[in-house]
Amino acid sequence: MEIVNHEVIHKAFGKGTIIEQDNAILTVRFSCGEKRFQYPEAFRTFLRLSEDALNMAVQEEINQFDRTKLDAMTAQSPMSQAITKQKAVKRSRDERPNIAFKCNYCDGGASDKSVGFNGVCSDAIIYNNIEVEHRTWCCSEDCSCPRYLNGEITRKELDKMCEDGGLVCYESQMLRDWKAMAGFVQNGDRKGQPMHLNQVQPNSLCILTTRDPNSTEDERYIFAAFLVDDTYGGDDLTEGFVTTRSEFRLQLSPEEAHKMLFWNYHANGKQPETAAWNSGLHRYMTDEQAAQILRDIAALKQDTRDTDLAQRFFEKFCTLTRIDTNTLRMPQGALKQENSNTTKVVSLR
């Protein structure tokens, strides 16, 4: 399908024009520069054409693309089918764990019921993320917030970018779309390359974490969780993501969230007693750790409007992962191990 010179809209880069179409690769010119996308995959989530008729035609190409792949799989020889089945058996539930994301603090849409992450940050947090903490994406030339801070666009224009279904940053849409993105490498030799998510599958748990300005890593807390029902690993041009349309999704109030310290549940392999995220935007977690988190969220949600959902969410996950709720251990994360070591030292004295 020929779509050169047509206008497209990208969730992060805004409006652009397709300037080149080479087989399965599109080149689009945005105000921030030229970007390349895989066709038709990019139109699943990241791009859409301004003209509705063309957009519908592209979606039909995607459907045809999927049908062709399915037909090819169905037509495999008995030997090929046996090999495929054998590989599927090896990729067991335990080998494709749950995921936690490291999110910059965002107070967009914050209230006494929500930490935020549903709109553009306040002026104070924009300044903090750029000028004080120098957050990588917040300072990027592809992000609109530095343009606002420098007076190039108005606050109204910045807010409208998010309200129109666009994306100012990943954090600004997390609890609007219930979607977490793997991101792009921001530094080093691989700068600009998309990051992949190769170990997540439907019915895995996704945990969203952040920490307040001027806080330390051991104060990182969980502000939302959802059961994944759609996941994309990513490719050479497009980053991976996880998302959900399921009823099993919960956000925590600020008071609840600050009680759910991430490092109570997770520990690093080499230094299990140290709360340090270091590099990367995501971490993988075991089923047991995920179940412990859901159990504690359910306890926090007692006597709230989410009481029933939180309990059903916990029980649903334990059923999926064959975890016995009666024998589920207490968390053994970095903070728990640190406290345990301190207790031992005190007792020796």
- For the segment 168-176, the average pLDDT, to the nearest whole number, is 88
Residue 180 shares a structural domain with residue 259 = yes
* Side chain identity, residue 222: I
Give residues with Cβ within 8 angstroms of 38, minimum separation 6. Answer: 24, 25, 26, 235, 236, 237, 238
pLDDT at 348 over 50: no
Q: Tell me, what DSSP letter sits at residue 328?
A: P
- Asked if residue 243 lies in contact with residue 266, where contact means CB atoms within 8 angstroms, the answer is no
Residue 181 shares a structural domain with residue 215 = yes
In whole angstroms, what is the distance from residue 42 CA to residue 36 CA?
Answer: 10
Q: What integer pLDDT is reported at residue 191 of this predicted model?
A: 67
| 221 within a domain of the structure (yes/no) | yes
Among 19, 43, 74, the domain boundary falls at 74
Residue 67 shares a structural domain with residue 103 = no
CB burial of residue 233 (10 Å; 0-12, 13-18, 19+)? middle
Residue 102 shares a structural domain with residue 59 = no
Residue 280 shares a structural domain with residue 183 = yes
Ranking 103-112, 237-246, 283-292, 334-343 by mean pLDDT, the lowest is 334-343
Highest mean pLDDT: which range of 67-71, 299-303, 344-348: 299-303
Residue 290 shares a structural domain with residue 214 = yes
| 159 within a domain of the structure (yes/no) | no
| 124 within a domain of the structure (yes/no) | no
CB burial of residue 286 (10 Å; 0-12, 13-18, 19+)? middle
Residue 25 shares a structural domain with residue 113 = no
Distance of CA 24 to CAs 2, 44, 55, Å? 12, 14, 17
Residue 59 shares a structural domain with residue 186 = no
Residue 190 shares a structural domain with residue 334 = yes
CB neighbours of residue 48 within 10 Å: 18
Residue 39 shares a structural domain with residue 114 = no
What domain range includes position 104?
96-118+176-344
Residue 184 shares a structural domain with residue 313 = yes
pLDDT at 227 over 90: yes
The tokens for 293 are 């988190």
Percent of the chain with pLDDT over 70: 83
Give residues with Cβ within 8 angstroms of 114, minimum separation 6. Answer: 175, 251, 253, 254
pLDDT in tens, 22-60: 877 889 998 878 888 878 878 876 788 888 888 788 888
In whole angstroms, what is the distance from residue 33 CA to residue 189 CA?
Answer: 20
Residue 324 shares a structural domain with residue 181 = yes
| 316 within a domain of the structure (yes/no) | yes
